[in-house]
Structure 1
Amino acid sequence: MTQPPGAAATFDFSGRRALVTGAGKGIGREIVAFLTRCGADVVALSRDQGDLDSLSRETGCVGVAVDLGSADGARRAAKTAGPVDLLVNNAGIALLQPFLDTTPDAFDQTMAVNVRAALTVSQVVARGLIQRGAPGAIVNVSSQSSMVGLPLHAAYCASKGALDQLTRVMAIELGPHGIRVNAVNPTVTLTPMGQMAWGDPARSAPMLARIPLGRFAQALDVAQAVAYLLSDAAAMVHGVMLPVDGGFLTS
């Protein structure tokens, strides 16, 4: 039987500043809302100023409009956020094309946003933490598609595989500085982007059939997993790719 999500978990992030990329919609927006409810001071990055304005009204976060596909833009925005304790690299795009028709431009755009932006923003945040001698936590929002191939997702799957490997290297190099780095790897999540990719029942039914819990993820499922990895409850969790997939990878 399919079970709905349970009651929301709670964490205490009082006195900590969190930076969330790709915060305007979907999973990122839910992460911002959840972290603010847990007491964090949140800086939200997104391309869309309108999304940031409404998010700021709803949560009290500080919004910074930026195209994270630009390395310089990503670096400037991260520096604008000021001293950051917690970082969530959530920004991502999915340009769906068959493998034989995947264009260099689509591939480059996907890698720039899904991987390079995480590298660039994390460098700024990690340098700041090291200079301050402060511990910190970083969570990269990856995907189950880092571990399984999906039709029409050549660039996306490649980018998420790269993000997982980036997470591992970050964990090795930043761990000695007291900076924990992990990733979450959600299954299909019912955001606008998820609906675009999986809204057709003919496409979604085979995927859903492989999830033992019998449902796709909600944005809150992912936000709670991210918050756990950022929290002191995960103080010994480091270098992990945490599936949030209802058991998809076990099937």
Structure 2
Amino acid sequence: MSLAERFSLTGKKALVTGASKGIGTELCRVMSEAGADIVAVARDAAGLAEVKSVVEGNGRRCLTISADLGQADAPERAAREALAAWGKIDILVNNAGVSFPKLLVDQTIEEWDLIQAVNLRAPWLIARTLVPAMMAQKAGKIVNVSSQTSAVALTEHGAYAASKNGLNGLTKVMTAEWAAYNIQCNTVCPTVTMTPMGQQVWGDPAKLGPMVAKIPAGRVAQTVEVCDVILFLCSQASDMVTGQDIFVDGGYTAL
């Protein structure tokens, strides 16, 4: 198999959550350029329409599904809709995430519960719905987008860190249960990335400066840099990589 073939997603069907913004939007572009058809899942209908245009502009099919993954029934409904339309999903990227940065003593129960629902419960519900078809074909890729703060403490991110630590642990159990079916499950853990959510949290230079000073690379991550790592984990080139937390952090966690 050639280099191009090993990294190609031609003929693959990929479901991406949080597809209407930031890393999700860029990932739909990157994966469709690599040959994948895309199921784009998000709440923002206008954003989904833009993603559909980009994917189809790359000559691939795009199914858009509007879903609020914080609702208990929404993740499974979205996954079943994708299966009903396309029969199977080869690649799942759980990218959707929310954060309400507050000190632990100020975080509300409602905010805590929503963060866990979107960042941790939804990936489990979608995966358990899609995995039986992956098991049947003895092939599949699952990438859960986690965070640098799954490994290092970050003030005002207690609920978010709890969800991402949980996601890393969930991914390892996915590996333990599904690796025998040739399903690879990994997390990608970015540092600060200037998505709309990243801008909301880190847009103030007075807050961003001290964080960047701790990153040996001296800058934040670009969305495409995160997406290229996800692309590798979704390709045949990564068939022996599973159960790993891959940090895209410019060296932050090396210190």
Could you tell me the TM-score, scaled by structure 2's length?
0.92
- Among 152, 167, 170, the residue aligned to 2:171: 167
Within 2, Cα distance between the matches of 1:134 and 1:175?
9
- Among 218, 225, 228, the residue aligned to 1:214: 218
Q: Hey, what does 2:101 align to over in structure 1?
A: 96
Deviates more, 1:10-19 or 1:88-97: 10-19
Within 1, Cα distance between the matches of 2:212 and 2:120?
27
Offset of 1:71 from its aligned partner? 2.5
- Among 37, 52, 55, the residue aligned to 1:56: 52
| 1:196 matches 2:200 | yes
- Runs of 5+ consecutive residues of structure 2 not aligned to the other structure: 1-5, 57-61
Offset of 1:205 from its aligned partner? 1.2
**Amino-acid identity (%):** 44
Within 2, Cα distance between the matches of 1:103 and 1:91?
21
Within 2, Cα distance between the matches of 1:134 and 1:70?
30
Q: After TM superposition, list the pairs within 5 Å mapping 1:27-176 onto structure 2.
A: 27-60=23-56, 61-82=62-83, 83-130=88-135, 132-176=136-180
Paired letter, 1:157 = A
Offset of 1:11 from its aligned partner? 3.1
Within 2, Cα distance between the matches of 1:220 and 1:54?
17
Within 1, Cα distance between the matches of 2:116 and 2:214?
28
Offset of 1:214 from its aligned partner? 1.1
Q: Deviations over 1:105-151 (max 9, x none)?
A: 00000000000000000101111212x33301100000001111111
Within 1, Cα distance between the matches of 2:162 and 2:94?
17
Offset of 1:101 from its aligned partner? 0.8
- Runs of 5+ consecutive residues of structure 1 not aligned to the other structure: 1-9
Offset of 1:250 from its aligned partner? 1.1
Within 2, Cα distance between the matches of 1:134 and 1:64?
26
**Aligned residue-pair number:** 241
Moved beyond 4 Å, runs of 4+: none
Q: Hey, what does 1:5 align to over in structure 2?
A: none
Within 1, Cα distance between the matches of 2:208 and 2:50?
31
Within 1, Cα distance between the matches of 2:203 and 2:227?
22
Could you tell me the TM-score, scaled by structure 1's length?
0.94
Q: Hey, what does 1:187 align to over in structure 2?
A: 191
Within 2, Cα distance between the matches of 1:213 and 1:64?
37
Q: Hey, what does 2:3 align to over in structure 1?
A: none
Within 1, Cα distance between the matches of 2:23 and 2:137?
31
Paired letter, 1:90 = N
Give SS of 1:225's match.
Answer: helix
Within 1, Cα distance between the matches of 2:92 and 2:254?
29
Q: Hey, what does 1:248 align to over in structure 2?
A: 252
Offset of 1:187 from its aligned partner? 0.1
Q: Deviations over 1:78-126 (max 9, x none)?
A: 1111210011000100111111011110000000000000000010111
Paired letter, 2:75 = A
Give SS of 1:149's match.
Answer: coil
Within 2, Cα distance between the matches of 1:149 and 1:46?
29
